[in-house]
A and B are shown apart, each in its own frame.
Chain A
């Protein structure tokens, strides 16, 4: 989660300018927002010395006195997101157990470390944009918009979970694992890959709408 902290720091500073926030608000949200970026990049690649997870005001105060330290998060952010997606009724431990079982199944099928395989599958399945569609005066408009990393990962996870239900396997972690392995092949016949390609094709058709979208009444906006 802290693998590109420089981006996180610049994101914090960029985000601060339009909003007037008190020091207490910013301190709390900075500690949280430092870990938001680069959910898809692996933790092991975070070799650059990163900034400690304190508020920006405190950082400037400590600049001269203390060296920067790298605090890795307790859990891989992509796995955390995946667990949140399969969690029901707030039962996180049960969902985390299912995630762990899924990783075990991936390892059992492939005899390789499961986390890079899982990450690669999410990156293959994740679309880079979404197409907002709305009707205005009986004409359908399509407006492609880029997605943040978390949105991309979440979309990929949602599609994989939906497709996994049709797979064979006694328990859901096994079905998830089978779907993950199928997705990596990037076969255009795979339902997840097909959805991604359709979304991208639709965006290419309507790429003229990116820079100047048409005006739409508030009632119609998606």
Chain B
């Protein structure tokens, strides 16, 4: 089978979300206890998030997948 323009729709690379688990647990604690200042029961969860954000790697932009470039290049040999 001959495909003139060999290309795919690649999956998007998953976005980097720093400290997602600590963040989600803190929000869950807030919804349960209404402690929006994080002074009472949610103080530990807030502290965990703050320490995580302090040490989290800076988010870098990921390159788009280059599968289509390679398919276009190798299309002549594959077909």
Contact = CB atoms under 8 A, between A and B. Distances in A.
B49 A146 contact: yes
Interface string B41-61: 000001001110111111010
Given A146-B18, A207-B31, A11 B55 contact: yes
Chain A interface residue bracket vs B: 20 to 34
Given A128-B38, A128-B49, A200-B36, A211 B24 contact: yes
A222 to B, nearest CB: 15
Interface residues of B, number: 26
Interface in B49-76: 49-51, 53-58, 60
Contacts, number: 67
Contacts of B23: 129, 144, 146, 210
Contact of B53 (A17, A124, A148, A213): A148
Interface string A190-206: 00000011001101100
Interface of A: 4, 7, 10-11, 14-15, 17-19, 37-38, 124, 128-129, 144, 146-149, 186, 196-197, 200-201, 203-204, 207, 210-211, 213
Interface of B: 15, 17-20, 23-24, 26-28, 30-31, 36-38, 46, 49-51, 53-58, 60
23 contacts: A11-B55, A11-B56, A37-B55, A124-B37, A128-B46, A128-B49, A128-B50, A129-B23, A144-B23, A146-B18, A146-B23, A146-B49, A149-B54, A201-B36, A203-B27, A203-B30, A210-B17, A210-B23, A210-B24, A210-B27, A211-B17, A211-B24, A213-B15
